[in-house]
């Protein structure tokens, strides 16, 4: 007898978006100068030796690691958040390592007990995993950038993402304060995905947990930090969530039972990465240079760049459907991500990642300039 899947969870979810650009990828790959893949924001520069040594230094340890992470890792996270982003008053107990932040985001609504009948608010143009998390939990999902769009309703969870993937837009202190006070009036949890907080090009990006935003009161607030982009640790799967001690304790409790544990050598690598700002700033400068080259070339080729004041992407448009732009770029051997991946409001943009080697970025610029 064959096995019967009674309820296919995958049927709740959209098509995996990257599978839908296979044709554009093949076209770009056929370029005689080779593909310049600017579609996925995956790091290409090597992991810093400081981090690799920390990983290797504990590779003989055989025992189970703890779900809450080592005291050293949590202390390093608290110190890094203070040094880098001015977050004060956070207790190491209110930090929880995660196996890359994507798994946390996809599981968060469920881990927080949300389900049918709960409203979850996500940005209009958003990293797709917020929606996935809501769908997996059975929530109703509302795409809204302004609080007035929520009307009189009481969301259970509001996701924000500043700097944004894909737009690079930064939410300022005033905006964040309004979100916090709205959420507190309505009894909502606010989760801020701060994956790109360390990659700002114009001005600064405040954290949800910054005292200017929350007055030092973390109640109902969670900040999600990935080490994938700022420390090139996408392959290690390394991130953490921090904020409201009660919410973090609840997440810890459920994750302990589920075996959601960051491997011990990765915890050691994360501790080293969080303790060192020099490798982070070297990486930021690499991206800054690539961003300038690409921005100039795209604008020269007739693109308008919107937002993009921070983060790892240029949010670019030629005022036409994103598929048309995707194909135009693919003919030049350049692969981007179509804006509609991120919501209907992205239908006329493409997202161009800064994550390619200098030589590939230069090749893209040359092709765009002669297009
Ligand atoms: C906005 C945003 N959040 C979270 C993630 C997930 O990062 P990771 O799972 O590598 O920590 C990404 C990855 O691209 C992202 O763009």
**CA–CA separation, 167 vs 179, rounded Å?**
19
User: Which residue's entry shows tokens 């196996």?
Assistant: 99
Ligand 1 pocket: which of 165, 310, 311 to mutate (most atoms <8 Å of CB)?
Answer: 165
Site to probe by mutation for ligand 1, drawn from 102, 198, 342 as the one with most ligand atoms within 8 Å of Cβ, is 102
| pLDDT digit string, tens, across residues 105-147 | 999 999 999 999 999 999 999 999 999 999 999 999 999 999 9
Q: Atom 5 (ligand 1): residue with closest C-alpha? A: 102
**6 confidence band (pLDDT: 50, 70, 90):** confident
Residue with the nearest Cα to atom 3 of ligand 1? 195
Identify the sign of the CA torsion 250, 268, 160, 125.
negative
**What's the 166 CA to ligand 1 centre distance in angstroms?**
11
Q: Is the pLDDT of residue 3 over 90?
A: no
pLDDT, tens digit, for every residue of 76-96? 999 999 999 999 999 999 999
Q: pLDDT (tens digit, 9 = 90+) per residue, 172-196?
A: 999 999 999 999 999 999 999 999 9
What's the predicted TM-score (pTM) here? 0.97
- C-alpha 128 to ligand 1 mean position (Å): 10
- Distance, CA of 122 to CA of 106 (rounded, Å): 13
Contact 311, 351 (CB under 8 A): no
Q: Can you give the pLDDT at residue 16?
A: 82
pLDDT at 287: 98
pLDDT score at 35? 97
Q: Encoding tokens for residue 157? A: 């969870």
Beta bridge partners of residue 338, listed in sequence order: 350
Average pLDDT over every residue of 331-356: 97
Atom of ligand 1 nearest to the CA of 161: 1
Mutate to test the pocket of ligand 1, among 123, 132, 195 (most ligand atoms within 8 A of CB): 195
Q: For residue range 50-63, what is the model confidence (pLDDT) as tens digits? A: 999 999 999 999 99
Of 264, 254, 235, 281, the closest CA to residue 72 belongs to 264
140, burial (CB in 10 Å: exposed 0-12, middle 13-18, buried 19+): middle
The pLDDT mean for the chain works out to 97
Cβ atoms of residues 350 and 338 within 8 Å: yes
Interval 342-353: pLDDT, tens: 999 999 999 999
Bridge partners of 191, per DSSP, are 159, 222
| Ligand 1 atom closest to 238 (CA) | 11
pLDDT band at 203 (very low <50, low <70, confident <90, very high): confident
H-type helices in 168-312, by residue range? 173-186, 211-214, 245-258, 264-274, 278-300
User: Of all protein residues, whose CA lies closest to atom 1 belonging to ligand 1?
Assistant: 165
The pLDDT tens digits for 266-306 are: 999 999 999 999 999 999 999 999 999 999 999 999 999 99
Atom of ligand 1 nearest to the CA of 312: 16
The minimum-distance atom of ligand 1 relative to the CA of 234 is 10
325-346 average pLDDT score: 97
pLDDT of residue 309: 96
- Over residues 324-333, the mean pLDDT reads 97
Q: What is the pLDDT of residues 159-168, one digit of tens each?
A: 999 999 999 9
Q: Is the pLDDT of residue 209 over 90?
A: yes
The residues lining ligand 1, judged by C-beta closer than 6 Å to any ligand atom, are 41, 100-102, 105, 127, 161, 165, 193, 195, 226, 228, 234, 239
Split at pLDDT 50, 70, 90, the class of 1 is low
pLDDT above 90 (res 5): no
CA of 80 to the centre of ligand 1 (A): 19
pLDDT band at 17 (very low <50, low <70, confident <90, very high): confident
Instruction: Give the closest residue (by CA) to ligand 1 atom 2.
Output: 195
């Amino acid at each position: 007898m064959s096995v019967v899947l009674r309820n296919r969870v995958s049927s709740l979810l959209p098509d995996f978006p990257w599978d839908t650009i296979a044709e554009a990828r093949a076209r770009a790959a056929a370029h005689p100068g080779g593909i310049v893949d600017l579609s996925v924001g995956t790091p290409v520069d090597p992991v810093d030796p400081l981090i690799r040594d920390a990983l290797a230094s504990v590779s003989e340890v055989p025992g189970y690691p703890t779900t809450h992470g080592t005291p050293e890792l949590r202390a390093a996270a608290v110190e890094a958040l203070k040094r880098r982003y001015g977050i004060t008053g956070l207790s190491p107990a209110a930090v929880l390592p995660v196996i890359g932040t994507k798994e946390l985001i996809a599981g968060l609504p469920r881990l927080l007990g949300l389900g049918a009948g709960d409203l979850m608010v996500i940005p209009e143009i958003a990293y797709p995993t917020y929606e996935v998390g809501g769908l997996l939990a059975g929530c109703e999902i509302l795409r809204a950038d302004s609080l007035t769009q929520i009307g009189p309703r009481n969301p259970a969870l509001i996701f924000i993402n500043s700097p944004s993937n894909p737009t690079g837009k930064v939410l300022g202190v005033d905006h964040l304060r309004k979100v916090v006070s709205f959420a507190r009036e309505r009894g909502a949890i606010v989760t801020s995905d701060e994956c790109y907080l360390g990659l700002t090009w114009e001005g600064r990006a405040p954290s949800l947990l910054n005292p200017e935003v929350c007055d030092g009161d973390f109640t109902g607030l969670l900040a999600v930090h990935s080490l994938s982009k700022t420390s090139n640790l996408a392959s290690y799967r390394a991130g953490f969530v921090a904020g409201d001690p009660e919410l973090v304790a609840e997440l810890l409790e459920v994750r302990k039972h589920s075996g959601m544990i960051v491997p011990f050598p990765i915890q050691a690598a994360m501790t080293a990465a969080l303790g060192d700002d020099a490798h982070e700033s070297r990486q930021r400068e690499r991206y800054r240079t690539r961003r300038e080259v690409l921005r100039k070339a795209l604008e020269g080729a007739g693109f308008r760049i919107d937002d993009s004041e921070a983060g790892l992407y240029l949010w670019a448009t030629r005022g036409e459907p994103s598929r048309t732009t995707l194909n135009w770029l693919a003919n030049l051997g350049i692969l981007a991500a179509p804006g509609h991946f991120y919501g209907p409001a992205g239908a006329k943009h493409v997202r161009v990642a800064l994550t390619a080697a200098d030589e590939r970025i230069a090749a893209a610029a040359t092709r765009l300039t002669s297009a």
